[in-house]
């Protein structure tokens, strides 16, 4: 399974943008980049995913480096509700064996939002 590397933790201030980095230097051409987050005492929640181009949705933006070896999740205005553990995950949806259904979570990165 392709691996990702994230900082253990980050802090941000409420209503300010926050950039969450992820390195995935061994990414393959068929790996999609997924971001999930997990609020305390809840199951993970999908945030966004992408392959090559930058992506935007109502929750966040995903900026993908041109060589795809890194990506950045951008929360445009952090709120207290964004305090969570964020997981950057690679998933091979095509692959040589038809892809894999599983999400391989690392330890993630804990985001603290200060009021």
Least Cβ distance, residue 34 to another protein (angstroms):
7
| CA count, 13 A, side-chain hemisphere, 14 | 5
- Identify the three-state secondary structure at position 37: strand
Please identify, among the stretches 9-17, 37-45, 59-67, 73-81, the one whose residues bind another protein according to the rule CB under 8 A: 37-45
Interface residue with another protein, options 2, 30, 32, 74 (CB under 8 A) = 32
Among 93, 73, 100, smallest CA distance to 85 is for 73
Nearer CB in complex with another protein: 21/99: 99
How are beta strands 9-13 and 109-114 bridged, if at all?
parallel
Number of C-beta neighbours around residue 59 at 10 A = 15
| Ramachandran region, residue 76 (left: φ > 0; alpha: ψ -120 to 50; beta: rest) | alpha
Interface residue with another protein, options 75, 87, 90, 113 (CB under 8 A) = 87
Please identify, among the stretches 14-22, 23-31, 65-73, 97-105, the one whose residues bind another protein according to the rule CB under 8 A: 97-105
- Per CB under 8 A, 53 contacts another protein: no
- Per CB under 8 A, 108 contacts another protein: yes
Residues that bind another protein (CB under 8 A): 32, 34, 42-46, 49, 85, 87, 91, 93, 100-108
């Amino acid at each position: 399974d392709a691996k990702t590397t994230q900082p253990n933790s980050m802090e941000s201030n409420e209503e300010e943008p926050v950039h969450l980095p992820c390195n995935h230097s061994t990414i393959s051409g068929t790996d999609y980049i997924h971001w999930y987050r997990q609020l305390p005492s809840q199951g993970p929640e999908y945030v966004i995913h992408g392959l090559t181009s930058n992506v935007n949705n109502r929750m966040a933006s995903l900026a993908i480096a041109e060589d795809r070896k890194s990506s950045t999740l951008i929360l445009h205005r952090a709120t207290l509700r964004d305090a969570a553990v964020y997981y950057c995950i690679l998933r091979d949806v095509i692959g040589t064996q038809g892809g894999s259904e599983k999400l391989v979570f690392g330890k993630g990165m804990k985001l603290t939002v200060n009021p």
